[in-house]
Amino acid sequence: MSNLQADPAVGPEGGPVELLDGATVALGGPRGMAVTRTLPNRRRRMVGAWCFLDAYGPDDLAGTPGMRVGPHPHIGLQTVSWLVQGEVLHRDSLGHLQEIRPGQLNLMTAGRGISHSEETPAVNSGVLQGVQLWVALPEPARTRPPAFTHHGDLPVLDFGDLLATVIMGELGGAVSPAATYSPLTGAEITAAAGADGVVPLRADFEYAVLTLDGAATIDGQELKPGPLLYLGEGRTSLRIEAGPATRVLLLGGEPFGEELVMWWNFVACTHEEVVEARASWESGSLFGEVHGYAGPPLPAPPMPISRLVPRGRIR
Ligand code: MN
């Protein structure tokens, strides 16, 4: 996290913005696919209920296995899979087998427990670019039964020069059909080169923007692919100016009021819940089985020596 200026920049509306730098992480070990993780961040863990954001690609898959994430468990969250280019095949312990392509949403609500795998399908376009997000579930949804849904038809809004696809929650009065459990927004906004437009926001939400392609000027700040620009609360609109043809991801939501423990693939309220979920995964109970993935399940890492302490959205 770095503030942009010594005197925090104050936009036309709202509070100071923060540029949250990403960390490079190799999915599936040191030889795995590289992703840029901007949530959780060193200082800011969440934007609304959004608590995890990995961006990857564009990657040329020639001579590589592509995405290979073996069966692993989740509790207490929703996984939101969104592609810019390419294909990903999802399998889960409820028996779903679903390929996604750009413009489609794969939404998995873990609730009390599910396991899944993600892979590049055998027949693919040879390129991969996308984002993997998690949404934290509040009480009582975090212990609900698991579910998976595929959404191929999402609302698209036209804000002058900007086209916005509402992936999750609400934007400008349009609501995604995807199930949500706290007030939030997730949208992909595309703009032709030189486009200049304004997106309506809600003053009671906090927001952040990630550039996926191109370069946008957001609130007067140029934003290229890499860091996440945190915009805070109190804004009723956001101006987006595209340099070249540009695609950004807009995330927002009501500031999340509950304290959470986040460890490995689990979002929980207490250290004990994480210990129990880890033991259930290691013993093969609770999380069911993922069929058809050509590879072993991912082992849970050892628990840290110190107790996991629930924390709020800001560290
Ligand atoms: Mn997962």
pLDDT at 30 over 80: no
- Residue 14: pLDDT band (50, 70, 90) is low
Report how far ligand 1's centroid is from the alpha carbon of 16 (Å): 33
pLDDT at 221 over 70: yes
Burial pattern 109-127, b for ≥16 Cβ within 10 A else e, equals bbbebbbbbbbbeeebeeb
Classify domain 9-253 by CATH number.
Answer: 2.60.120.10
Q: Which residue has the tokens 């609304």?
A: 48
Report how far ligand 1's centroid is from the alpha carbon of 238 (Å): 31
The residues spanned by each domain of the chain are 9-253
State pLDDT tens for residues 227-284. 999 999 999 999 999 999 999 999 999 999 999 999 999 999 999 999 999 999 999 8
Report how far ligand 1's centroid is from the alpha carbon of 74 (Å): 7
Burial class of residue 54 in the structure, from the number of CB atoms within 10 Å of its CB (0-12 exposed, 13-18 middle, 19+ buried): buried
- Residue 50: pLDDT band (50, 70, 90) is very high
Mean pLDDT over 2-18 rounds to 54
Report how far ligand 1's centroid is from the alpha carbon of 199 (Å): 31
pTM greater than 0.85 (yes/no): yes
The pLDDT value recorded for residue 13 is: 57
As a whole-number percent, the residues of the chain with pLDDT over 70 amount to 94
Report how far ligand 1's centroid is from the alpha carbon of 35 (Å): 14
Mean pLDDT over 123-142 rounds to 97
pLDDT at 31 over 70: no
Considering the chain, what is the average pLDDT of its residues? Answer: 93
As a whole-number percent, the residues of the chain with pLDDT over 90 amount to 87
Report how far ligand 1's centroid is from the alpha carbon of 108 (Å): 9
CA distance 83 to 91: 17
Report how far ligand 1's centroid is from the alpha carbon of 191 (Å): 30
Report how far ligand 1's centroid is from the alpha carbon of 89 (Å): 12
